[in-house]
Amino acid sequence: MSAPLILGAVCRTWRRIVWATPRLWNVIFFDLWFEGCDTIARKELLEEWLLRSGHRPLHITIGTNEAVPDESEEALLPFIDVLNAYADRWRTLKVCTTVSGVLARLRGGEMPLDGCGLSELDLELHDEEMWPLVINLTSVTPRLRKLRIHGLDHYSLEVNYQFLTHLATEYFGEDDCVEIMRRAPLLIVCEFRSMLEPCDEDAPQSVVVCQNLRKLVIEDGASEQLAPFFGRIQLPRLEELTISTDTYWHTDQKLDLAAFFDRSPCPLQSLILGNIESNAQDIQKMLAKVPTLKRFFLSARQETDMAVRDALYALAGRFQSIVPDGHLEPTTPLVSQLESLSCSSNLGTFKWDVLPKMFGLNVGNHVHSDIQASLRNVDLFLFDDDEIGVMDRDTLLRCLRLCRAGARIEINPDVILWSAVEHCSINIYNE
């Protein structure tokens, strides 16, 4: 909360300017409690700060960075009462606390006179105890756009979802995620982290069609939630999809993205799959369902996961040799718009000569160097260095020619450099 105070301390002239400029006071970062703080003096400071903000919309970030002793929790509530008095001017509100009473104290009050109210709301509660209370902010969220919730379920929060476009949740149940998607028809971006299993598995499960959703991110949590969740949604305008869970459960319900894209066709442009998700996919079948794909990231670090191999050979299989000069021409429209491929794998499950073939450059072809595919960028991150061999001379030359023609091939560790050094050493030795 110090920026206007610092400016006001420069000189009397600056102080008069700062004191009379409300836009310098409408942004607040306030730590509700720290050891040794004077809560009475800080409450007066907060009141004065808000008073100087005039009638401007307020952007408020408050929280408790330290664990608050039980005997000090009651002293935090007057701060929230002060903020509640200005609820009609809240524009963004971010609260991160370990004290559930801080959130429970929030009140919406009267409908904002300008009809706007909160555009961005971020509530984060770090409290392991069950909390049956409800935060009612309906009156100040008539046009809420962005919502992030951590440590609460949607039943603990009452807001207007009609204009919500961005949603981020952590530790939400599957049912809660689907319910908010149903209640927010204008959603464009959804990010679900650490999704929990549904509370009532026998409850009726209707399919929710999110007509406007462009980006969906699902991270952390258990993979067993994926198949049921995707079975309950349709995303006809989805452009970006990221799935990367961190826990594998042995279950008969495995996510089949090919089936999902078949049931819910979409103009997908970016797809990111983590280690667990890639292992369950029929890569070629899946790619056939997303012809608009431009960016594909695939991680396959499990020893039995052949997803990277399948992806590389599926892309190389798009071309066939044309006689008499032996150059490659496209034969199948599989992801014909793909521009960037990034793969992470722990085993050398493929041969290096597949790389130039993905660009449409055939073995021994030293006449045609044009890139036949839309593919321009390939990144490979490989593990188990002892398993990684060098390229043969012909493959190395074709990769270098592709790079000169405008392609970017990055391999970590640098196999291209290793191969160049190896073949250079052989030539020197032979000479």
Q: pLDDT tens digit string along 161-185?
A: 999 999 999 988 888 999 999 999 9
According to the model, what pLDDT value does residue 241 have?
Answer: 98
Residue 248 backbone dihedrals phi, psi, to 5 degrees? -105, 130
205 or 365: which leads in pLDDT? 205
Q: pLDDT tens digit string along 126-169?
A: 876 656 678 999 999 999 999 999 988 778 899 999 999 999 99
- Please check the confidence at residue 327 and state whether its pLDDT lies above 70: no
According to the model, what pLDDT value does residue 337 have?
Answer: 93
Closest C-alpha to 407, from 362, 374, 368, 364? 374
How many CA atoms, within 13 angstroms, populate the side-chain half-sphere of residue 418? 13
- Please check the confidence at residue 113 and state whether its pLDDT lies above 70: no
75: confidence class by pLDDT, cuts 50, 70, 90: confident
Distance CA 377, CA 217 (A): 23
298-302, 336-340, 424-428: which range is least confident on average? 424-428
Q: pLDDT tens digit string along 360-385?
A: 876 555 555 567 778 999 999 987 65
For the segment 241-261, the average pLDDT, to the nearest whole number, is: 82
For the segment 114-127, the average pLDDT, to the nearest whole number, is: 86
- Tokens standing for 40? 């009475």
- Please check the confidence at residue 431 and state whether its pLDDT lies above 60: no
Give percent above pLDDT 70 in the chain: 82
Distance CA 67, CA 325 (A): 73
- The mean of the pLDDT values for the chain is 84
Distance CA 67, CA 49 (A): 26
36: confidence class by pLDDT, cuts 50, 70, 90: confident
According to the model, what pLDDT value does residue 109 have?
Answer: 73
According to the model, what pLDDT value does residue 203 have?
Answer: 58
- Please check the confidence at residue 251 and state whether its pLDDT lies above 70: no
Residue 219 backbone dihedrals phi, psi, to 5 degrees? -135, 155
What ranges do the domains of the chain cover? Answer: 1-139
Contacts of 202 (CB under 8 A, 6+ apart): none
- Please check the confidence at residue 324 and state whether its pLDDT lies above 60: no
200: confidence class by pLDDT, cuts 50, 70, 90: low
- Please check the confidence at residue 5 and state whether its pLDDT lies above 80: no
User: How many other CB atoms are found less than 10 A from the CB of residue 189?
Assistant: 16
8: confidence class by pLDDT, cuts 50, 70, 90: low
